[in-house]
Amino acid sequence: MFQIDCLNGKLLFFIFHSIIHNSSQIRYTDITYNYDFLQEDLFMLIKNGFLIDPASDTERLVDLRITDGLIQTLADAGTLTPENGEDELDAAGLMISPGLVDTHIHFRDPGFTYKEDLHTGSLAAAAGGFTSVICMANTSPVIDSVPVLKELMEREALEDIHIFQAAAVSCGLKGEEMTSMKELAAAGACGFTDDGIPLKNAAFLYKAMEEAKALDLPISLHEEDPAFIETNGINHGPVSDALGIYGSPSIAEESLVARDCLLALRSGAQVVIQHISSGQSVELVRTFKAMGANLHAEATPHHFTLTDEAVLKYGSLAKMNPPLRTENDRLAIIEGLKDGTIDLIATDHAPHSTEEKSRPITQTPSGIIGLETSLALGITSLVRPGHLTLSQLIEKMTINPASLYHLPCGSVAEGKSADLVLFDPNEKWIPETYASKSSNSPFTGWELYGKVKYTICDGKIVYKD
């Protein structure tokens, strides 16, 4: 177990990454933090909040004392009083949960920073209650080599939230030559994915799964076979017919999910089916999980909230890969969330410029932003209708992703880093403007329930409503 003393939080994270760069045997969870500096917001007392911590099965009113960026004391509400002039934050009427964790985001940095960059992406994450996120590898250059990974991680460490980085499975995302996965893992990659592009060669993917298993890191898969797709981003069906295009049928996803469930079962690797969109895909994951495959699945807020009918109303703002599908598919995703088949909620935060999203729908890029509305959509679409409890929702947005990727977060306990989100699950609000550099969301103007009031990362308030 490593203990690190440092002059400031950013230096700590830089040292943390440097250690990771030099040992494939060190996990994020092998490091404890000991800050010896005094910084605004790192010493505070949070009183009278209702803690929901699925990791410890805790649901109760608490007081929390934060010292040096760590949770020093966790006590029953009303038992702690301010000491040494520490700031007091009255959380009466608010829920406290671990800072949210998103396993699937695109900050477009490097290469596409006119859409988003590390800083604006971090601001968007904090506004949505996220203290930890995992960036995908489909940047320019692709994150397929150690020098590119190291340079990016050093810049990521300068932001106020924790940004972790996935590396590519194949060089240049071409699906032909495998990256040096062992070296990338030693340099700090927390998982592997060619997200945005499917891995079409089954034998190649199987070898990559074997390597990921040896490294004890997840491999995440974008499941869309382009051979079935004529126009991506829009489900093949009555809606695509109305638009005069063929679209993307669900078999494009289901065929690869079926194949990769078999490969996961055979390889034993931790395999993540990204942004699942088809009810048949959910059933395949359910079946192979029961057979013993180490499968995980992500559901996005847009896939459990909207159907392909939204394309007729919102146009390109409802175009994404994989596409929104039918009401039966949406309900099957909700059932998968309810029974644990789907264990991760991830945003697939995908910023695009207004100019790009203003093109004709067959020419506009796929994807929407999602960090700032994710928690509220979970509450609005899943909790309030009774599909999930609030604790079950938080579990899929905190401890489940943190455990899968070996991240030092996802729970609230004494001695842990003070990564927290305070929110009012009953407050109505309407998203109108965004901290993100982009605004490509169909949820602008919606009335949602669940407002983030404070986001705290390493004991520092990084967002305040």
Catalytic residues: 348
Contact 233, 323 (CB under 8 A): yes
Closest CA to 243 of 315, 306, 293: 315
Angle made by CA atoms 158, 162, 163, in degrees to the nearest 5: 80
List the strands of the sheet with 219-221, edge to edge. 192-193, 219-221, 271-273, 295-299, 344-345
C-alpha 46/C-alpha 17 separation (Å) is 30
DSSP state of 29: G
Query: CB neighbours of 433 closer than 8 A, spacing ≥ 6?
Result: 439
Asked if 120 and 363 touch (Cβ cutoff 8 Å), the reply is no
Q: Which of 445, 426, 420, 442 is nearest to 126 (CA)?
A: 420
Please report the beta strands in 25-99, taking only residues with DSSP state E, as ranges in sequence order. Answer: 31-35, 44-53, 58-67, 70-76, 87-90, 95-98
3-state secondary structure of 78: coil
Query: What is the SS3 assignment for 288?
Result: helix
For 58, the token pair is: 């805790």
48: alpha, beta or left? (left if phi > 0; alpha if psi -120 to 50): left
The structure tokens listed for 103 are 């396993």
DSSP state letter for 383? I
Of 104, 136, 125, nearest to 346 by C-alpha is 104
The span from the CA of 206 to the CA of 34, in Å, is 41
- In angstroms, rounded to a whole number, what is the distance separating the alpha carbons of residues 362 and 366? 10
